[in-house]
Amino acid sequence: MGLLSNISRPANRSPSSSFFIPRFFVVVAALSFTILLFFEVDSFVQSFVSSTKTIAGHNLEPTPWHPFPPKPSSLDQESKYSVASKILQCSYLSCGRSTTDNTSQHNPPKHDLSKSESCPDFFKYIHRDLEPWTKSKISARHIMGAQNFAAFRILIIGGKLYVDLYYACVQSRAMFTIWSFLQLLRRYPGKIPDVDLMFDCMDKPTINRTEHASMPLPLFRYCTTPAHFDIPFPDWSFWGWSEINIQPWEEEFRSIKEGSQAHSWRKKSPIAYWKGNPDVASPLRMALLQCNDTEMWRAQIMRQDWGEAARGGFKQSKLSDQCNHQYKIYTEGYAWSVSLKYILACGSVPLIVSPEYLDFFSRGLTPQKNYLPVRPSDLCLSIKLAVEWGYGHPDMAEAVGRAAQDFIGNLTMDRVYDYMYHLLVEYSKLLDFRPRQPPAAMEVCVDSVLCFADENQRRFLRKSLAFPSSSLPCSI
Q: How confident is the model over 15-33, as pLDDT tens digits?
A: 444 445 566 555 555 555 4
* Nearest by Cα to 207 from 225, 189, 185: 225
Angle at 404 between CA 384 and CA 385, to 5 degrees: 10
* Mean pLDDT value of segment 8-14: 49
Alpha-carbon torsion angle 423, 425, 431, 437, nearest 10: 100
Percent of the chain residues past pLDDT 90, beyond the cut: 70
Question: In the prediction, which pLDDT does 279 show?
Answer: 86
Strands 349-353 and 299-303: unpaired
Percent of the chain residues past pLDDT 70, beyond the cut: 80
Q: Report d(CA 276, CA 286) in Å as an integer.
A: 11
Q: How confident is residue 41, by pLDDT bands cut at 50, 70 and 90? A: very low
Angle at 337 between CA 350 and CA 153, to 5 degrees: 145
Q: Report d(CA 430, CA 185) in Å as an integer.
A: 20
Report yes or no: 76 and 54 within 8 Å, Cβ to Cβ. no
- Does pLDDT of 12 surpass 60? no
SS (H, E, C) 419-469: HHHHHHHHHHCCECCCCCCCCCCEEECHHHHHHHCCHHHHHHHHHCCCCCC
- Give per-residue pLDDT as tens, 218-248: 999 999 999 999 999 999 999 999 999 999 9
Query: HSE (CB half, 13 Å, CA atoms) of 209?
Result: 11
Q: Is 384 helix (H, G, I), strand (E, B) or coil?
A: helix
- Does pLDDT of 139 surpass 60? yes
- Give per-residue pLDDT as tens, 348-399: 999 999 999 999 999 999 999 999 999 999 999 999 999 999 999 999 999 9
Domains defined along the chain, listed by start = 92-235+413-463 (no CATH), 244-358+362-409 (3.40.50.2000)
* Mean pLDDT value of segment 210-218: 97
* Mean pLDDT value of segment 301-328: 78
Please give the single-letter amino acid code of residue 217. Answer: L
Q: Report d(CA 370, CA 16) in Å as an integer.
A: 96
* Nearest by Cα to 347 from 410, 274, 261: 261
- Give per-residue pLDDT as tens, 243-302: 999 999 999 999 999 999 999 989 999 999 999 888 888 899 999 999 999 999 999 999
Question: In the prediction, which pLDDT does 78 show?
Answer: 63
CB-CB neighbours of 238 under 10 Å? 23
* Nearest by Cα to 278 from 299, 297, 247, 306: 306
Q: Report d(CA 465, CA 349) in Å as an integer.
A: 33
Q: Report d(CA 373, CA 240) in Å as an integer.
A: 28
Strand partners, 154: 163, 197
Question: In the prediction, which pLDDT does 223 show?
Answer: 97
Which residues are CB-neighbours of 222 under 8 A, at least 6 positions away? 201, 203, 232, 233, 234, 235, 236, 336, 338, 359
Question: In the prediction, which pLDDT does 39 show?
Answer: 41
Q: Is 77 exposed, middle or buried (0-12, 13-18, 19+ CB in 10 A)?
A: exposed
DSSP per-residue string spanning 156-181 = EETTEEEEEE-SB-STTHHHHHHHHH
* Mean pLDDT value of segment 419-447: 97
* Mean pLDDT value of segment 156-163: 98
Question: In the prediction, which pLDDT does 315 show?
Answer: 62
Q: Is 325 exposed, middle or buried (0-12, 13-18, 19+ CB in 10 A)?
A: buried
- Does pLDDT of 408 surpass 50? yes
Question: In the prediction, which pLDDT does 84 show?
Answer: 79
Report yes or no: 260 and 345 within 8 Å, Cβ to Cβ. yes
293-297: list long-range contacts, CB under 8 Å, 24+ apart.
293/380, 296/380, 296/384, 297/380, 297/381, 297/383, 297/384
- Give per-residue pLDDT as tens, 57-112: 888 999 998 888 776 665 665 666 677 788 888 888 899 765 555 544 445 555 55
Report yes or no: 242 and 252 within 8 Å, Cβ to Cβ. no
Q: How confident is residue 44, by pLDDT bands cut at 50, 70 and 90? A: very low
